[in-house]
């Protein structure tokens, strides 16, 4: 499984395009040629009659019949998408479309000589903002498509991009970067930001301080440009509603907006010529880079606010972290001062305006848009890394905390904390709360009102995990039920458990480890009052997910 001499394969199932990459040991990463004329595969689908087409075949359909950005169905928790049909709009299963796309990715990877099989470490990217059910949905779809996934396969996309950068700096330049890295990953469907503590080298140590995102990225800019183009057509005398097929014109304009966005990354102006064969003669428009930046301005203003939110969130994960009121008082200069490096990833990072705006926020940091591959390939390159996941630590648990008790002679379980659930909502940093974290108390605490139970830890696949608390190995922590139950996870790794009697246990984890689905082990905790962590046993340090000794 992975390791410095292993073989890993990564799949970036993107909103607009998808990629597959492999790496063997410390050799350079290889991007598999998935497209017919490109390394990437278009994440497009559509129906011709009853036949579901994907990729380039779907792109050849009339523009208003193409299913684009289907991955957003997971982000938006949608089960179906709509398409024009002979009798009007028809709904199709979003899951069926994604399964077909993922299966085609697997088939094309095999034809390219890189079969997606279980004999290599397999990783699949996902947005940082996704919760546990959204992540599980993608895993289930990938399994139905024949991909060799397990519950440890998913990696947050901005974290993967950061790993690609850390590895590239060492392999290509012999550098051992040490400090704080901010990853700004703007793709088609989401904007994801991660803040990582890194110590580079042959065996890098990476701790995630925060990773968050928003469903507001490249697609939003496409629609903003399309609105400008429709206004331009209206100013030239085109009455959209008087047309025989207004939806077709809207679809063609949206496609032209995407082309303009790409072209204006290189050129100052772009001419828009709509296909007259489909909708009749339309005026030729010219769209400039200045117009694009104006259309993009509000979105980038919001992106900057997400950057500051990520930096405040990173502060919360530190030992002795500042209170929300202190974080609110921190200005941009103080927040940005902790960042040593900035990595721009995702297809939207090709737009010069992005680098100009984000680079200006960090005048004292080194800004990179190169992780050894193109910005839109950074995620898949990181997913295929063979070494940097050995000592990766997260900022929140990737496993469930459950309450277990006996009732009527049967064992019952209820989830107390679901894997990947955010500890707090971003807006809560702006409130007067003093201790942010995830909390269940009183009536919201599952289980009976009296009796004995256990707090247990389990993988997202349902398999139980062990615990080691202050050197004692156990399969769960004893709970004395009552009316005053409290469970709280703090951002800095503290855990509070209050029994029904009012007595408390306070524990700490230095960083949440990545629990490997195929090799479950223990979650190591210690009393919060201890001044130094209990040294891990040699057995513990042999595990791939073992955190670095600090």
pLDDT tens, residue by residue, 184-215: 999 988 899 999 999 988 888 899 999 988 88
Which DSSP symbol is given to 244? S
Contact 310, 195 (CB under 8 A): yes
DSSP per-residue codes, 95-135: HHHHHHHHHHHHHHHHHTT----TTSEEEEEE-TT--HHHH
Enclosing H/E stretch for 300: helix 289-316
pLDDT tens, residue by residue, 71-91: 999 999 999 998 876 566 789
Q: Inform me whether the pLDDT recorded for 547 exceeds 50.
A: no
Enclosing H/E stretch for 437: strand 437-441
Cα dist. 382→19, 77, 155, 228, 386 in Å? 12, 27, 9, 36, 9
Of 148, 155, 151, 153, nearest in space to 116 by CA: 148
Q: What is the mean pLDDT of residues 269-288?
A: 89
* Distance, CA of 193 to CA of 181 (rounded, Å): 10
- Mean predicted lDDT score pLDDT of the chain: 87
Q: Is the pTM of this model over 0.85?
A: yes
Question: What does the block give as tokens for 360?
Answer: 């200006």
pLDDT tens, residue by residue, 129-159: 898 899 999 999 999 999 999 877 899 999 9
7-216+303-392 maps to CATH 3.40.1670.10: no
Q: For position 201, what pLDDT does the model report?
A: 87
* Domain range list for the chain: 7-216+303-392, 396-541
**Per-residue confidence band for 26, with pLDDT thresholds at 50, 70 and 90:** confident
pLDDT tens, residue by residue, 103-113: 999 999 999 99
């Amino acid at each position: 499984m992975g390791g410095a001499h292993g073989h890993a394969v990564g799949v970036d199932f993107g909103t607009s395009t998808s990629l597959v990459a492999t790496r063997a040991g410390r050799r350079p990463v290889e991007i598999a040629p998935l497209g017919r004329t490109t390394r990437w595969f278009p994440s497009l689908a559509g129906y011709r009659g009853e036949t579901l087409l994907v990729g380039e075949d779907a792109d050849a359909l009339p523009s208003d019949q193409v299913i684009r950005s289907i991955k957003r169905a997971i982000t938006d928790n949608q089960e179906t998408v709509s398409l024009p049909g002979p009798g009007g709009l028809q709904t199709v299963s979003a899951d069926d479309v994604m399964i077909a796309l993922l299966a085609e990715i697997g088939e094309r990877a095999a034809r390219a000589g890189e079969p997606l099989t279980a004999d290599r470490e397999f990783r699949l990217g996902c947005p940082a903002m996704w919760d546990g059910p959204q992540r599980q949905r993608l895993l289930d779809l990938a399994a139905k498509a024949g991909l060799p996934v397990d519950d440890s396969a998913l990696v947050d996309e901005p974290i993967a991009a950061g790993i690609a950068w850390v590895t590239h700096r060492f392999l290509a330049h012999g550098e051992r970067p040490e400090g704080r890295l901010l990853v700004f990953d703007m793709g088609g469907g989401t904007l994801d930001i991660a803040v990582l503590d890194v110590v580079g080298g042959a065996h890098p140590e990476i701790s995630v301080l925060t990773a968050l995102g928003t469903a507001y990225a490249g697609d939003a800019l496409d629609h903003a440009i399309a609105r400008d183009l429709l206004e331009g057509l209206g100013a030239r005398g085109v009455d959209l509603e008087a047309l025989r097929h207004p939806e077709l014109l809207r679809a063609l304009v949206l496609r032209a907006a995407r082309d303009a966005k790409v072209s204006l990354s290189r050129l100052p102006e772009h001419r828009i010529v709509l296909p007259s064969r489909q909708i009749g003669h339309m005026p030729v428009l010219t769209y400039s880079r200045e117009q694009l930046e104006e259309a993009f301005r509000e979105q980038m203003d919001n992106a900057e606010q997400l950057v500051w939110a990520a930096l405040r969130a990173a502060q919360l994960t530190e030992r002795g972290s500042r209170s929300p009121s202190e974080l609110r008082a921190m200005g941009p200069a103080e927040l940005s001062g902790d960042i040593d490096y900035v990595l721009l990833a995702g297809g939207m990072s090709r737009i010069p305006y992005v680098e100009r705006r984000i680079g200006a926020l960090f005048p004292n940091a080194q800004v990179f848009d190169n992780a050894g591959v193109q910005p839109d390939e950074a995620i898949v390159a990181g997913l295929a890394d063979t070494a940097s996941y050995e000592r990766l630590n997260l900022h929140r648990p990737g496993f469930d905390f459950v309450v277990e008790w006996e009732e009527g002679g049967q064992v019952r379980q209820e989830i107390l904390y679901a894997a990947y659930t955010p500890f707090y909502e971003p807006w809560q940093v702006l409130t007067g709360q003093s201790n942010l974290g995830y909390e269940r108390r009183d009536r919201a605490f599952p289980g009976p009102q009296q009796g004995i139970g256990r707090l247990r830890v389990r993988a997202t696949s349902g398999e139980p995990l062990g615990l080691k608390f202050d050197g004692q190995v156990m399969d769960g922590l004893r709970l004395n039920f009552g009316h005053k139950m409290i469970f709280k996870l703090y951002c800095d790794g503290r855990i509070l458990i209050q029994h029904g009697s009012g007595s408390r246990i306070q524990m700490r984890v230095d960083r949440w480890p990545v629990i490997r689905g195929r090799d479950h082990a223990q979650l190591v905790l210690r009393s919060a009052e201890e001044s130094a962590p209990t040294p891990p046993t040699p057995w513990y340090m042999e595990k791939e997910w073992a955190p670095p000794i600090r």
